[in-house]
Amino acid sequence: MAALVARVASRRDREAFEQLFDHYAPRLCAYLARLGCEPALAEEITQDAMVALWRKADQFDPAKASVGAWLYRIARNRRIDLLRRAHGGSVELEETAMPVDDAPTPDEALAAHQRETLVARAMRGLPAEQLRLVRLAFFEERSHSEIADATGLPLGTVKSRIRLAFGRLRRSLEADGLADAN
């Protein structure tokens, strides 16, 4: 996770930020709910913490704390600030220990493995040419134009085949019960 923060700090890497957001936002919301925050306030504080990550990623020091501990501290401090403003400066806080483990829970690891298995199976069901283009686009991170140049296919054909592949993947994943296929 620290490597993702470093990518955000050095390159403003949106993909790295999305991975961090997807991992930490639900955890921060759950943590804040355990502290007694209403759902809307928990989401607001979570958003604030993630914006702080985006803006201040260069201030993160992995020698001092894990990414999780750093984000939980940001969220906790933001919550305290909001409570102080709402209550005239002084508040009694019942603390809940900050979770700091960055590892996925067993349920999350199992769900990820199951998703990976279903996606791999769905990909094996693609025609070879569609599979090749999907791999070039998403595993090698090539643009549609780069794929057209590399394969000698017209750009429209590349786009159409990738779109058709996604349609097939979506249908296959939905049939396998992976409702979040899109």
Give the lowest-confidence range in 8-17, 82-91, 136-145, 154-163.
82-91
Residues 6+ apart with CB under 8 A from 62: 2, 5
The SS3 assignment for 56 reads helix
pTM: 0.49
Confidence band of 7 (pLDDT split at 50, 70, 90): very high
**Could you report the per-residue pLDDT of 58-102, keeping only the tens digit for each?**
999 888 888 888 998 899 888 888 888 876 655 555 544 445 455
Confidence band of 39 (pLDDT split at 50, 70, 90): confident
Per-residue pLDDT at 51: 93
**Residue range(s) of every CATH 1.10.10.10 domain in the chain:** 106-175
Higher per-residue confidence, 180 vs 33: 33
Per-residue pLDDT at 179: 54
> Of 37, 11, 40, 5, nearest to 24 (Cα)?
5
**Could you report the per-residue pLDDT of 50-60, keeping only the tens digit for each?**
999 999 999 99
Higher per-residue confidence, 108 vs 169: 169
Average pLDDT rounded to a whole number, residues 156-174: 91
Residue whose pair of structure tokens reads 């779109």 in the numeric block: 163
Share of the chain above pLDDT 70, in %: 86
Which CATH code for domain 2-86?
A: 1.10.1740.10
User: CA quadruple 136, 137, 143, 147: dihedral positive or negative?
Assistant: positive
- What is the overall mean pLDDT for the chain? 84
Per-residue pLDDT at 130: 93
Which CATH code for domain 106-175?
A: 1.10.10.10
**Residue range(s) of every CATH 1.10.1740.10 domain in the chain:** 2-86
Strands (E), 140-180: none
CA 9/CA 163 separation, integer angstroms: 33
Average pLDDT rounded to a whole number, residues 109-129: 85
The SS3 assignment for 35 reads coil
Greatest mean pLDDT among 61-65, 109-113, 120-124, 161-165 lies in 161-165
